[in-house]
Amino acid sequence: MATDSPVARDIVERLNAGLSDALDDDFDSLGRQLHRRGIDIEAVTSKVAGFSVAVPSWGAGRGGTRFAKFPIPGEPTNIHEKLEDCAVIQQLCRMTPRVSPHFPWDRVSDYRALREEAAALGLGFDAVNSNTFQDQPGQAASYATGSLSSTRAEVREQAIAHNIECIGIGAQLGVTDLTVWVGDGTNFPGQQDLGRSLDRYIDAASAVYAALPDGWRMLIEHKLYEPAFYSTVISDWGSSILVAQELGDKAKCLVDLGHHAPNVNIEQIVARLHRFGKLGGFHFNDSKYGDDDLDSGSINPHQLFLVFNELVEAEMNPRGGFRPAYMIDQSHNVTDPIESMLSSAEAIAGAYAKALLVDREELLAAQEANDTMMAFQALRKAYRTDVTPILAKARAGAGGAIDPIAAYRASGWRARKARERQAAGTAAGIV
Ligand SMILES: [Mn+2]
C-alpha cells in the first residue's frame, strides 16, 4: 500500500464527512427496496467492492484525435507521471488498482524498479500491450505495410521480436497477459490477398504464442476498421476466435466496445466467446459512430449494462474458467483524463452492479416459459435501479471518496502538477 497518498487524506475525509449522512439515508432506502425484491444490498456492495478494472497508461494523457491534440497544463508526459495520476484515480475510486502499460511508449531501463515505484503508489500492472502499428525512431524495418502479417519476412520478425520483448517486460512487471492488436490491413481491394495475409499473421502469432511462459495468455483484439479502411486482418470476433482456436488454450479473444460495426450485438459476441472458453478480456469505452473511444457509459449505458449482464452470467457460470482482463480503453480529448477515468470507472462498476441485481431465477424461468415480457422485465427492473449509493458505499468503505470528482477538484492536483511538470507535446495520434 501507498505510504503517502497522492491526494491529501484530510481532503477526502472532510468531503466524505459532509456527504455521509445523505449517503447512509440513500443506501438504507435502496437497501429496503432491494430487500423487498429478495436482494441483500450488503452482498451486492461487497461484490462491487471486489470489482476492479485496469486503466491504460496512455489514458492518463490527452489522447487527441487523428487531427489534433490539445494538451492541458500538468498532463503527464512519461510513465512515472502517468503512474502518479493513475494513483490519484485509484485513491479516489478504489476500483482501478492496476495500470496496463504500452510498449515502447512506456519504456524504461529498469522494470523491476518501475514495479516497485508503482507498488509504492498502491498500484500493480495489468496486461502488457505491444505496439506494432507505428514506427519508432531508429527502427530497422517499417510497419507501413503491416507488422505480424507483413509480406516482408524481416518486418514480421521484428514484430515477433517486439511481442516477445513485451512478454519479457511483463514478466518483470508481474503481468501474465499480452494484448496483441495489429493495425494490419488494406485500404484498397486487391492490395493484399485476404487469405495469405491471415496465413502470415497466424504463422507470426504462433511464434509469439510459443514464447508465452506458463500461466500466460495472449489476448487477441479484433477491430473492424481503422487504420486500414478496406480490410483488417483480425477484423471481427470470427477471425479472432478462429485464430485463438488455432493457436491454443493460452490464446483468448479480447472485445473492445468500439471495434464493431454500428449496432452490432456486442453482448451476444460476449456470450458466444464465453461459450467456447475464449473470452479473455474486455476494453471499455463508448461510441457513437466508430472507434470513438468516448467515455464508458456516456453514449449507450444500456449497452454497457447488457454487456455486463453477459459478463455476470459468465462469472456465475464459468464453464471451466473465466478470468476476464477488464480495462478502460478511452481517448480523452476535451476533459481532464483523471476526471474521465473516475467517471468511467463509476459507469462500469454501475453497469456491473445493475447486472448483479438481475433476478437470474426469474429471468431463466421466464425464458424457459417463453414469457418474453417477464424476461425483459427481469432485465428492466435491474437496469432501472439507481445503484449510486452502492458504488459510493463500496468506495468509501475502501477509503475512497464518496464523490471522487469533487474530491479531485478540491485537491488542486492538476494545478500543482502544472507547476511541476514539463508541458506535453501536441503531436496527434490515435491509440
Ligand atoms: Mn482496445
Closest Cα partner for 270 from 286, 254, 284?
A: 254
Spacing, Cα 80 to ligand 1 middle (Å): 22
* pLDDT of amino acid 1: 43
pLDDT band at 427 (very low <50, low <70, confident <90, very high): low
pLDDT computed for residue 131 by the predictor: 96
Ligand 1 centroid to residue 203 C-alpha, Å: 23
Report the chain's terminal Cα–Cα distance, integer Å.
Answer: 30
How far apart are the CA of 87 and the centre of ligand 1, in A? 22
18-23: average pLDDT = 98
Average pLDDT, the chain: 95
**Ligand 1 centre from 234 Cα, in Å?**
13
pLDDT tens, residue by residue, 363-406: 999 999 999 999 999 999 999 999 999 999 999 999 999 999 99
Q: What is the pLDDT of residue 20?
A: 98
Output 277 or 319, whichever has higher pLDDT.
277
Expressed in angstroms and rounded, the spacing between residue 13 Cα and the centre of ligand 1 is: 35
Contact 108, 136 (CB under 8 A): no
Q: How far away, in angstroms, is 326 Cα from ligand 1 center? A: 11
260 CA to middle of ligand 1, Å?
A: 11
Contact between 51 and 94 under an 8 Å Cβ cutoff? The reply is no
Distance (Å) from CA 164 to ligand 1 centroid: 20
Q: From residue 317, how far is each of 251, 265, 274, 422 by CA, in Å?
A: 20, 21, 10, 49
For cell 517499417, the residue is 142
Cα separation, 73 vs 58, in Å, equals 16
CA dihedral 107, 112, 113, 119 (to 10 degrees): 110
Is pLDDT above 80 for 360? yes
pLDDT score of 425: 77
Banded model confidence at residue 428, pLDDT cuts 50, 70, 90: low
Q: What separation in Å is there between the alpha carbon of 221 and the centre of ligand 1? A: 7
Lowest pLDDT segment from 67-76, 242-251, 341-350, 398-407: 67-76
Using CA atoms, how far residue 147 sits from 33, 247, 302, 342, 361, in Å, is 55, 18, 36, 34, 48
Question: Cell 422485465, residue?
Answer: 377
Mean pLDDT of 419-426: 86
* Ligand 1 centroid to residue 374 C-alpha, Å: 35
Residues in contact with 294: Cβ distance below 8 Å, sequence separation at least 6, in sequence order: 285, 286, 287, 288, 330
Cα(77) to centroid of ligand 1, in Å? 21
pLDDT in tens, 44-101: 999 999 999 999 999 999 887 667 888 999 999 999 999 999 999 999 999 999 999 9
Span from the CA of 256 to the centroid of ligand 1 (angstroms): 5
- pLDDT tens digit string along 179-227? 999 999 999 999 999 999 999 999 999 999 999 999 999 999 999 999 9
Residues 351-370 have a mean pLDDT of: 98
DSSP type of residue 290: S
